Amino acid sequence: SQKIEQNSEALNIQEGKTATLTCNYTNYSPAYLQWYRQDPGRGPVFLLLIRENEKEKRKERLKVTFDTTLKQSLFHITASQPADSATYLCALLDTGRRALTFGSGTRLQVQP
């Protein structure tokens, strides 16, 4: 069955460091992968989309990599700030249902 795995344990890092979050998937052949940020009780907010033919994508302090051989995406936040503390979700397109399927998310806590 199709599965998206994100580290369920919270990631705690010090302000100014780089946070790296992992998304692994099985039984998907995604054309692209998306990353979202979610704050408690709020709707997810779209951050980045990376296509299968793109190895890396950047937006300000964010960087996403996509390795279709390893079936893995890495999400990096450089020079992290306490305001970056949130849950980060990866999502893949299920082409059969034209729907995004989300991982359960990884909670990031940036300590001042």
Partner 1 sequence: EAQVTQNPRYLITVTGKKLTVTCSQNMNHEYMSWYRQDPGLGLRQIYYSMNVEVTDKGDVPEGYKVSRKEKRNFPLILESPSPNQTSLYFCASSLSSGLSYGYTFGSGTRLTVV
Position among 21, 23, 34, 50 found at the interface with partner 1 (CB under 8 A) = 34
Smallest distance from partner 1 to CB 64, Å: 13
- How far apart are the C-alpha atoms of 74 and 27, rounded to whole Å? 18
Smallest distance from partner 1 to CB 52, Å: 11
Hey, which residues between 46 and 85 contact partner 1 (CB under 8 A)? 46-47, 49, 51
- How far apart are the C-alpha atoms of 100 and 112, rounded to whole Å? 34
Which CB atom, from 28 or from 102, has the smaller least distance to partner 1?
Answer: 102
Classify residue 112 by its DSSP letter: -
**CB within 8 A of 3, min separation 6: which ones?**
25, 26, 27
Which CB atom, from 27 or from 112, has the smaller least distance to partner 1?
Answer: 27
Beta 106-111 vs 11-14: how paired, if at all?
A: parallel
Position among 53, 60, 83, 97 found at the interface with partner 1 (CB under 8 A) = 97
Q: List the one residue out of 40, 20, 9, 13 whose CA is nearest residue 112.
A: 13
Question: Does 45 help bind partner 1 (rule: CB under 8 A)?
Answer: yes
The footprint of partner 1 (CB under 8 A) covers 31-32, 34, 36, 41-47, 49, 51, 89, 93, 97-105
